[in-house]
Structure 1
Amino acid sequence: MENSVLTDNELIDLIRNEDSSAFEVLYRRYWQKLFVTALNKTQDDDLSKEIVQEIFVDLWERRASLQITNVPAYLQTATRFKVISAYKAELQTQIEFLEIPTNQSTSDQLDLEDFERALSAAVQLLPEKTRDIFVLNRLENRTVKEIAATLQIPERTIEYHITQSLRFLRLHLQDFFLSQGICILQFLLYYKKNFFN
């Protein structure tokens, strides 16, 4: 029987056993759909191609341990996570190369220090598990998957705690945003729009 007529799960079984032709069939079957999904999110042709390529490279590298029952859902979820990772990397690059004006006023420096203090105090008010997950994800740049493996809890639980921490911090810091001006709020809204929708 030719690989092209096999079901997704049959192809996964063959891929698990080092069958590169089965992998090629799966790649051809889903590449375009994943590319369209990534392109709709990123509006960037090259980045979308790179994201889809990474998904299939990861799939092949982990072939021996694949446990996938719903291939389309798995690949679509992987695409969404890769898009989020790409956005995070882009934002991190922008922050690293952000030039702080040398004529920054003492008042601006105090505002930033105040914000850091307010954020730190707010983080301390989070429930312990939520706080630990927030720190691992936002301050130590650990992925949801890495945190789930470390803490031995489901990825959905990690995502829930991250969402809860962001909601809490937005609510807790809203008075600070109002008193300090709109710039910080605009940045955080940009961050939320691009990474959490």
Structure 2
Amino acid sequence: MHPQLTDSELTYFLKESDKKAFEEIYNRYWYKLFCVAYHETGSREDAEELVHDLFESLWNKRQQTTIQHLSSYLVVSIKHLSTNYIKSKITQRRYQEYLILHELHQAELTDETVQFSDLSKAVEEVMKKLPEKTCEVFKLSRFENQPVKSIARQLNLSEKAVEYHITKSLKVLQEQLRIYQN
């Protein structure tokens, strides 16, 4: 170990791949860096992992990195790692929220489509049970949006008869489709 060496000397020996210098830097700064990371993240596990990542990077880049002030370099580095970690967590959380909301929306649309499809089939079944003329009047009125006068002229019926057929079909539909009402 090199407890008597200064930070500048430790940095020099680190660059020369001296493992004892690296161990001394680790022992000297681990707790301080852990405290900074813990303060930033609020999580013991995350702080430990970030400090580990910093020391791993320090060792792997020891020959490319020029360090003037070891303590400042390490503190700024751990703050930078912590900030990036928090940003990635926020982005990840937002993405997960988006996915959840998207899935809920898709499920809602699917559910509405299924309900509409079921309702459409039920309406078709009820329409088959109606008398032919009543069914025809209802389709012209509700599906083709034709006014009573136009239907009466087209089918050679009185307006009262058209209204009777519409009322009759609506009443039957209401009774038969009660299970679809909220």
TM-score (norm 1): 0.50
| Contact 1:15–1:63 (Cα < 8 Å) also in 2 | yes
The alpha carbon displacement at 1:96 in A equals 2.3
In the TM superposition, 1:1-197 aligns within 5 A as: 3-98=2-97, 99-100=100-101, 101-102=104-105, 103=108
Residue-by-residue CA offset, 1:103-157 (whole Å, 9 max, x unaligned): 49xxxxxxxxxxxxxxxxxxxxxxxxxxxxxxxxxxxxxxxxxxxxxxxxxxxxx
Give unmatched runs, 5+ long, in structure 1: 105-197
The alpha carbon displacement at 1:66 in A equals 2.3
| Contact 2:40–2:82 (Cα < 8 Å) also in 1 | yes
Report the counterpart of residue 120 of structure 2 in structure 1: none
Of all paired residues, the percent bearing the same amino acid is 27
Runs of 4+ aligned residues of structure 1 deviating over 4 Å after TM superposition are none
**Matches of 1:50 and 1:21, distance apart in 2:** 22
| Contact 2:54–2:78 (Cα < 8 Å) also in 1 | yes
Q: CA RMSD in A?
A: 1.4
| Contact 2:40–2:83 (Cα < 8 Å) also in 1 | no
The alpha carbon displacement at 1:95 in A equals 2.1
TM-score (norm 2): 0.54
Number of residue-to-residue matches in the alignment: 103
**Matches of 2:91 and 2:8, distance apart in 1:** 38
The alpha carbon displacement at 1:68 in A equals 0.7
Structure having the higher Rg: 2
**Matches of 1:71 and 1:14, distance apart in 2:** 12
Give unmatched runs, 5+ long, in structure 2: 110-182
**Matches of 1:23 and 1:72, distance apart in 2:** 14
